Amino acid sequence: MSGEASKQLVTVLGASGLLGTAITRQLARRPVRLRLVGRRCPVAPAGHRGEVETRAVDLTEPGAVADAVAGADVVVHLVAHMGGAGTWRVAATDPTAERVNLGLVHDLIGAVRAQRPHTPPVVLFAGSMSQAGQSAGRLDGTEPDRPLTAYDQHKLAAEQAIEEAHREGLLRGATLRLATLYSQGSDASALDRGVVASMTRRAFAGQPLTMWHDGSVTRDLLCVDDAAAAFLAAMDRPEPVVGRHWLVGTGEATSVAELFRAIAAAVARQSGRDRVPVVSVPPAEHSMPTDLLDFVLDPSAFQRATGWRPAVALPDGLRGMAAAVGRELAAADAA
């Protein structure tokens, strides 16, 4: 067997997204074979150590998932259907959402069942902390799941399918239920993704930052680079992780008002201009039941199992995003 062929093959489904890009960037530092799959063609990171294959694929096409995961030692499943307003807002009657969010997991399980690899692959699935639905206090993973949205119902059903396939011995699967992700601007492709990036751009444009109601809703905000490191930690120590779901976040509660004020301050420092105001507005028509619920989690179980810890403090991440957007705008003005 050649040296390249003997290296671990990691397939990343959804490699062109915010989290996929961050995971790919970290995996590229390792001597592994990477198969990067996305609806948009993923970009191979510069200076990657191992062999990198990129594929632009519509995974809903028959046989597409089976082809993407063939021979993989590890599959990182990040694909999700984005609904209205550029976020996870899908209608219960949207067949595309169910096909992507749940159907692709069944395709993955079916592909592994048909291929029957000698060693069951590790499958790491990206879930959401909002799958639990409304819960009193901090989430710790022991609360019953009562998902309130179609997106969370799809995610929970996909997670349960992976756990059943794990019990059957087809694969070694686990779900990382992630806190709210944001980017610190580590990659240019992340400068237009997520609420932090959107509000940072609004602040640079001198526009007020608008929050629904009084902004008292709290969230656990996790830098996408830390989320990527969590997936690699699970990949490095799969046996304590597989067979269940895990909560992955910082454990710190930040209100929407605090977040938006911090973004305004970071942009003001970067631009040298006055802070833009943070104002309250009524919820938009596309708001979801979970938008006005607190979601903060306790990641200690995952930390004990893997040794992972978040490394990026929120103020540092917001300064990083402000600096990255500032550099991009300055380069555009100079062009």
**pLDDT at residue 1, as a whole number:** 41
From 2-16, 95-109, 145-159, the region with the lowest mean pLDDT: 2-16
**pLDDT at residue 94, as a whole number:** 66
**pLDDT tens digits, residue range 69-96?**
999 999 999 998 765 444 444 444 567 8
**pLDDT tens digits, residue range 252-309?**
999 999 999 999 999 999 999 999 999 998 877 666 777 778 899 999 999 999 999 9
Residues 137, 60: Cα–Cα separation, whole Å: 38
Confidence band, pLDDT 50/70/90 cuts, at residue 8:
very high
**pLDDT tens digits, residue range 125-172?**
999 999 998 776 789 988 999 998 889 999 999 999 999 999 999 999
**pLDDT at residue 85, as a whole number:** 41
pLDDT over threshold 70, residue 66: yes
**pLDDT at residue 112, as a whole number:** 97
Confidence band, pLDDT 50/70/90 cuts, at residue 5:
low
**pLDDT at residue 43, as a whole number:** 86
From 108-112, 158-162, 215-219, the region with the lowest mean pLDDT: 215-219
Report the pLDDT averaged over residues 20-42.
Answer: 94
Report the pLDDT averaged over residues 7-33.
Answer: 94
**pLDDT tens digits, residue range 160-212?**
999 999 999 999 999 999 999 999 988 877 788 889 999 999 999 999 999 98
